[in-house]
Structure 1
Amino acid sequence: MHDDASGRVFDWLDTAAERRRLTGLARRLRPRAATSPALDLAGNDYLGLCRHPEVIAAAAAAARTWGAGATGSRLVTGSTALHAELEAELAAFCGFEAALVLASGYAANLAALTALAGRGTLIVSDAGNHASLIDGCRLSRAEVAVVPHAQPEAFAKALDGHVHGHPGGDARRALAVTDSVFSDDGDAAPLSRLAAVCRSAGAALVVDDAHGLGVLGEGGRGAVAAAGLAGAPDVVATATLSKALGSQGGVVCGPRRVIDHLVNAARTLIFDTGLAPPAAGAALGALRLLRREPERAQRVRSVAATLHRRLAAAGLRAARPDAAVVSVRAPSPEAAVAWAAACGEAGVAVGCFRPPSVPDGISRLRLTARADLTPADLDRAVATVIATAPPAASGPTGVPADPA
């Protein structure tokens, strides 16, 4: 039997849910069917590899060979020859000494930050960083300085005096942390300038290349490689295998001694079940396909540029993309939700970002380019976004209006 008090312990959840409903911020899961006539500009399948026959075949072969699951932590039974093969090829492709594969991109970021920082360490974090980086900073127990978005001089100011002001011990450690491409507006971090700032201060640079791998750099080797930082002794790159590679999982790339340390210190590696073999097989199949077809990276960048050019020409406030993400600002959170819904009803799925998920507080549609979009697909997507745009999305003379 339960008394009346026990039935009220979660009453606060009803209040929180009502508050979300009234502010238009309630979320719900929307299961999708296996197939749909809708044009997908909401997912992150940048290279169109998620359903590629070769990638699916690689996943199936891995399942037949290794089974459906990893069966345990990587340090127990969850590390297979397939994982080692994937790590070796990812490290070589991205230009680093070594790589470590984890169950998700989120877990990879937590692993890197919690294992490389700690009490007495300073982490300087870009204000636009992804939630997984933010959580990694919090869990590291380090001192965290959040600096204005994409401003190397702000990183320099935060780092100044910390490293050289503490002779010896853990207090000398410092990390600068940034996304390579920010998922809200699709803009790229100034990685070369950030690396110079870090070297001047004696700090390490940790870059989440989730939106750069497969899209930027020669043949899609990523933003870190494009900036000439791949393999640097003071740079660590993380990435997800669920975007351009169309699979699941995450990876940390860096100097061999960094990876060895993560194996011994990263809790999301030590205490989590290893990446499922079918996902590892799919990621490896996608990586090999990309190496044979490097033009896919250039194609997705071209598609993103076309989306931006045509939407901006129509008077919409579309941000110029540095990779595959095209952001289109909406006048309010409510307008963004209605706009995304109207696009969906017209057969084009788009993302909808609004507070509190966006650090700048600006609501927007988020369109993701794909290398496999045809000219007809682009025509359809552009026409739909323009036709469903709220009146306040652009000014009366075609000049985009400021967001509310």
Structure 2
Amino acid sequence: MDDPLAWLDDTAQARQAAGLRRVLAPRDVVEPLVDLASNDYLGLARDARVIEGAVVATRTWGAGSTGSRLVTGTTRLHAELEEALAAFVGTAGALVFSSGYTANLGAVTALSGRGAVVVSDVAAHASLVDAARLSRARVVVARCSAPDEVDRHLAAAPETRRLVVTDGVDSVDGGLAPLAALHAVCRARGAVLLVDDAHGLGVRGPGGAGLVAEAGLAGEPDVVTTATLSKSLGSQGGVVLGSAAVIAHLVDAARAFIFDTGLAPGSVGAALTALGVLRDEPERVAALHRAAAAVAASARSAAPELGVADPTAAMVPVVLGEPDLAVAARDACAAAGLRAGCFRPPSVPEGTSRLRLTARADLSADDLALVDRVLGEVLPAVLGRTGVSAG
């Protein structure tokens, strides 16, 4: 009998030939590399206070939440975190999910469905794309960076239930969505605006309250925000923030909430503690932006022809073109003591493979000096192999 999975070998070989094969690379407890690849923007994942918050919560409530949120999976600690998150970003309510992916899945599907239209940004995160596909709504892909384009699609839509979804801060290049203009279009056309602020929470806005708050839209009844607890807050999980009516509806209708085990108490305790640190130490946000500016300056100095822009968030994209160049640059950085993110299709469009360097608030002067040295060595060498001379 023929092997029904024989096609997997052919697919793997094709990926290998295209430079798109991925492998898991377990980290050691102690690493000699300066990390510019993680999403630990504020340096809180290893903060002693955040770790202790996780330990105390685990000892108090147990290793797991023991069930779905509607059965036994909601502790008083979950409720405390939701109250604190809503107060911090300025919304009436919040609902914690087991991940940012499930938060987007739950929010998009519950707020759309058959008979609705979802206008999804062309560069939306995969979780938003998947949620739109699973919603059974009609999906229109548009450039949310161009609110007029969104307006045209909404004006032509026969559906009365309308949802516009976009990332606030782009996860790859750090670009900022024009949220105020998008919201004006949505309000005029009777649409709800859903913003994934995963890369904005702790990075943008007053005290790190996020891009939605920065745009003056926190608390608006027709705006829904999603975010992760695994980036600036150094923990795990996701959250949907919005009006009391939206939160109540998600509790009733979001399948990714109803049928999923609640977030583990340790992650809840860590996120709650990290939120307190962010609230008490807003200078971490400014430190993050200084570090990102320094990383971008080093990349520009090493390879000015790449046109590395001033960062607006934590990430500094260094676009190299083909996957093999990005992989070579990543590996050379690692050999020299620097861990760099490597983004290739389908994470980015063809021809735009890149290093994604993510700054952290806790990078030291010595760390940034190493970044400058390594990029100064690696980028010219990698570009030289393409026949393009740095400088």
Q: Same fold (TM over 0.5)?
A: yes
Uncovered stretches (5+) of structure 1, i.e. residues with no partner:
399-404
- Of 27, 31, 34, 2:29 maps to 34
AA aligned opposite 1:385:
L
Q: How does 1:104-115 map to 2 (within 5 A)?
A: 104-115=99-110
Aligned to 1:332: 322
The Cα of 1:298 is off from its aligned counterpart by 1.4
Aligned to 1:46: 41
AA aligned opposite 1:253:
L
Corresponding pairs, count: 386
- Of 332, 338, 349, 2:339 maps to 349
CA distance in 1, matches of 2:53, 2:390: 52
- Of 234, 250, 272, 2:238 maps to 250
Aligned to 1:391: 383
The TM-score, its normalising length taken from structure 2, stands at: 0.96
Deviations 1:362-402 (A, max 9, x none): 1110000100001211111122122111125895473xxxx
Aligned to 2:356: 366
Deviations 1:90-121 (A, max 9, x none): 00001000000000000000010000001111
Aligned to 2:177: 189
Deviations 1:309-329 (A, max 9, x none): 232233143233211111011
Aligned to 1:288: 276
Deviations 1:232-274 (A, max 9, x none): 0100000000000000000000000000000010011000000
- Of 99, 102, 105, 2:94 maps to 99
Query: Are residues 66 and 108 of structure 1, via their aligned partners in 2, closer, same or farther at CA, if it must alter by over 3 Å?
Result: same
CA distance in 2, matches of 1:322, 1:68: 38
Root-mean-square deviation (CA, aligned residues, Å) is 1.4
- Of 243, 266, 270, 1:278 maps to 266
Query: Are residues 397 and 324 of structure 1, via their aligned partners in 2, closer, same or farther at CA, if it must alter by over 3 Å?
Result: closer
Secondary structure of residue in 1 paired with 2:59: helix
The Cα of 1:82 is off from its aligned counterpart by 0.3
AA aligned opposite 1:375:
A
CA distance in 2, matches of 1:99, 1:219: 19
- Partners of 2:317 and 2:357 within 8 A in 1: yes
The Cα of 1:360 is off from its aligned counterpart by 6.2
- Of 7, 11, 33, 1:12 maps to 7
- Of 309, 333, 340, 1:319 maps to 309
Query: Are residues 359 and 121 of structure 1, via their aligned partners in 2, closer, same or farther at CA, if it must alter by over 3 Å?
Result: farther
The TM-score, its normalising length taken from structure 1, stands at: 0.93
Uncovered stretches (5+) of structure 2, i.e. residues with no partner:
none
2:211 counterpart of 1:223 = yes
- Partners of 2:321 and 2:351 within 8 A in 1: no
Q: How does 1:66-215 map to 2 (within 5 A)?
A: 66-148=61-143, 150-162=145-157, 166=158, 171-215=159-203
Aligned to 1:381: 371
AA aligned opposite 2:310:
R
Secondary structure of residue in 1 paired with 2:140: strand
- Partners of 1:150 and 1:189 within 8 A in 2: yes
Deviations 1:284-316 (A, max 9, x none): 000001111011111111211221123223314
- Partners of 1:351 and 1:366 within 8 A in 2: yes
Structure 1 residue ranges (4+ consecutive) displaced by more than 4 angstroms after TM superposition: 392-397
The percent of aligned pairs where both chains have the same amino acid is 55
Query: Are residues 373 and 397 of structure 1, via their aligned partners in 2, closer, same or farther at CA, if it must alter by over 3 Å?
Result: closer
CA distance in 2, matches of 1:323, 1:226: 13
